[in-house]
Structure 1
């Protein structure tokens, strides 16, 4: 290893340590103010939502700090290389950073009881399906970008909910297809919302709402609102530190993959964010935000109040791809599928809280999770897989039925997408 590479690796390790410290400190601040407020709201209203939604950045940091994540990354890289060599995929996935989504799901399975060998099989299955999905979506990405010669695609886990969205899209066409004639101008809507849809503003709204519901003094309401707004901004900043921390690893692996497949005609797998210029994503997320809060308050089995993940970037990209940018359709389907995300966030909270506390030996933090974490179906399968590993016949049956349904639904979706892709030829 050269001196430059070594210094970058050391700097990355230090940045990761700083990011972890920042996350834990910010969660501690959040716990001090937010946990009593949520408890007060539960006493006053009977609505008990004790889990704080911290968004993606803390969870990504915790996942990358886990030693098994590098093992799962290695499995993903090997599978990608094998599938490329055998021509089973045309996607070279250089989005190394976002392997954390698959790793998180695998760690959740292990936390709930799955042995390592079974977890590796689960990881391999997800990676294979993600790469197939990247190929299936490529013509749609070209259309959405207005660039038929684009090389960009993505295997991001948030698109693995496409099969379910496709089912809901077909039902929408049968029952409410006429609403497409009244679709809205997404760009104009975003301009009207402006600051009102920012992280800081949303933190203020949630703080005021929880404070008033808990009948806190006005000074406490103001403190809560400002604290939530501040922590949302801090989580975003710390997410940038974390991304920089793992950049030496991801860049090194990306360079190696590019060297191996130099001269090949391949699609390039990137983060989902190359679609972030599409205004429909943000318009739909802004409309879904208040809907999500209402659903969280009334949904049986939910334990999380949306906050850090309330701008639902784990939800809207799949809606954009399947509906091809019809905003009203995206909102209706998104509202129907949001309970899956809330349930998955509630179920994964014990694991996330335990992992965060164990990382630094801090066991006084409140329960944390993410309300719109990508891959809710995969998280539910991970929990079932872990629980079935103990030999409980009920959970074994749930896991078998769930996995078979998951694979059959993906096979149907793949057939529909291949037929749809012929429209672009």
Structure 2
């Protein structure tokens, strides 16, 4: 067991730049691609993710200082500091559950594939930290490693099923063949966005009316292009925070580059995934007659849609306003504030690229995120102390917006009941598998939920 743990610990330390190409190549070989084609596919996807990360660094480089200025302008003085997802991930992997999480979740995934309970092969190993986080906080509260492991497994099972049902919408809206998104936080937003989408369909002002990027492009012409939207948005933000002419111009160009380059990087990822997707289809048709598998990827690939990144940038001041006015909030958004696009990544495919639906839904979800991030703050702080985590300067309590998810909360509430809670967790995941039986897609699930 120690050998297995050390092996996967070594693999996780290689980082996503190495892990993703290796995992893609392995999947390609499993689907009978030639060695060279499998390696090329893996390297191409890896290059796409390198490009994606380089472009996303623009957000942190240029929006990071903006968020600091906005926090000062709003004069926010809250008791808990948002340490950001890197801190939350490092903390989650440092727990006893986190140490074994990679081989354990791979085993859960394999068992679900063998029993035909999922179509998703989750190769997004780095983001297993979300499952480790759920297990880690449960272990902190219950004092039981095994309850923590059960909670992590439940989160992973739910993630795989939600990835399955939302896969077609993701593929259609983003043009990503054979892909699903099992990322531990992204899937927690899907039920919320599904419910909100049904509500919008019943509202007079929203019914049969969708404002997507294509509609905006047609109406505004050149000014409706993502590049120009980014430029204007950057200039407006620069003026709002009091930048001088040079800083404002730089921010405008950076946001224009972000809007133009993100979709291009996603296309590079697609180029690598197409041979894998074709190989998977051929493999399944020969052996399983019509069965299909999805490659589970990081929700970062969804940021290639102009709607997602535009709304994500607009949500930065929205999140700060919510932090200021919500009575239950104790969290100062900071570490994850520049990554607000990740919180609405799944809203774009579920709302079919509708700008206003995504913006409204994103605002609601940011309120939910703040609520759960504030709730988890004492537990995360205690877990951090137990693992020897180094706190940010001046912070007595820490949390992370990316850790503020309701699925971890529900599983934690059950786990507090010890043995009875363990039974309830098993019933919850079993009920989820039963509800989404027979490979329902998002439309079928929404129909059944709306009846």
Matching residue within 376, 379, 393 for 1:351: 379
Aligned to 1:152: 179
Aligned to 2:353: 325
How big is each residue's C-alpha offset from its partner over 1:20-76, in whole Å with a ceiling of 9 and x where there is no partner? xxxxxxxxxxxxxx9xxx9x999xx8x751111222111112222223213233321
1:236-315 equivalent positions in 2, closer than 5 A: 266-310=293-337, 311-315=339-343
1:101 paired with 2:130, answer yes
Cα pair 1:280 1:325 within 8 Å, conserved? yes
Distance 1:136 1:408, change over 3 A: closer
Distance 1:104 1:92, change over 3 A: same
Matching residue within 233, 257, 267 for 1:193: 233
Distance 1:412 1:177, change over 3 A: farther
Aligned to 2:33: none
Distance 1:82 1:13, change over 3 A: closer
Unaligned runs of 5+ residues in structure 1 are 15-33, 209-261
Deviates more, 1:61-70 or 1:166-175: 61-70
Distance 1:68 1:124, change over 3 A: closer
Matching residue within 395, 400, 407 for 1:370: 400
Aligned to 2:61: none
Matching residue within 91, 98, 106 for 2:120: 91
Aligned to 2:362: 334
Separation (CA, whole Å) in 2 of partners of 1:299 and 1:274: 31
1:132 paired with 2:161, answer yes
Q: Which gives a bigger RCO, structure 1 or 2 (Cα 8 Å, sep 6+)?
A: 1
- Number of residue-to-residue matches in the alignment: 324
Separation (CA, whole Å) in 1 of partners of 2:346 and 2:209: 18
Cα pair 1:159 1:317 within 8 Å, conserved? no
Cα pair 1:54 1:370 within 8 Å, conserved? yes
**Helix, strand or coil for the counterpart of 1:80?**
helix
Cα pair 1:316 1:330 within 8 Å, conserved? yes
Cα pair 2:12 2:126 within 8 Å, conserved? no
Distance 1:331 1:362, change over 3 A: closer
TM-score (norm 1): 0.64
Separation (CA, whole Å) in 2 of partners of 1:90 and 1:13: 27
1:165 paired with 2:190, answer no
How big is each residue's C-alpha offset from its partner over 1:340-374, in whole Å with a ceiling of 9 and x where there is no partner? 10011112222333333444475785122123x15
Deviation at 1:156, TM superposition (A): 0.8
**Helix, strand or coil for the counterpart of 2:182?**
coil
Separation (CA, whole Å) in 1 of partners of 2:120 and 2:133: 22
Distance 1:41 1:49, change over 3 A: farther
Aligned to 1:419: 444
Separation (CA, whole Å) in 2 of partners of 1:102 and 1:114: 17
Aligned to 1:49: 78
Deviation at 1:101, TM superposition (A): 0.6
How big is each residue's C-alpha offset from its partner over 1:372-393, in whole Å with a ceiling of 9 and x where there is no partner? x1561123224423543499xx
Deviates more, 1:280-289 or 1:182-191: 182-191
Distance 1:290 1:267, change over 3 A: same
Unaligned runs of 5+ residues in structure 2 are 1-5, 16-67, 218-223, 243-281, 285-291
1:143 paired with 2:172, answer yes
Cα pair 2:135 2:152 within 8 Å, conserved? yes
Distance 1:144 1:191, change over 3 A: farther
Cα pair 1:180 1:329 within 8 Å, conserved? no
Separation (CA, whole Å) in 1 of partners of 2:433 and 2:117: 20
Cα pair 1:348 1:369 within 8 Å, conserved? yes
Aligned to 1:234: none
Deviation at 1:122, TM superposition (A): 2.2
1:67 paired with 2:117, answer no
Aligned to 1:226: none
Deviation at 1:303, TM superposition (A): 0.3
How big is each residue's C-alpha offset from its partner over 1:82-121, in whole Å with a ceiling of 9 and x where there is no partner? 1222222222111111100111011112222263333333
Separation (CA, whole Å) in 2 of partners of 1:91 and 1:154: 9
Cα pair 2:169 2:349 within 8 Å, conserved? yes
TM-score (norm 2): 0.61
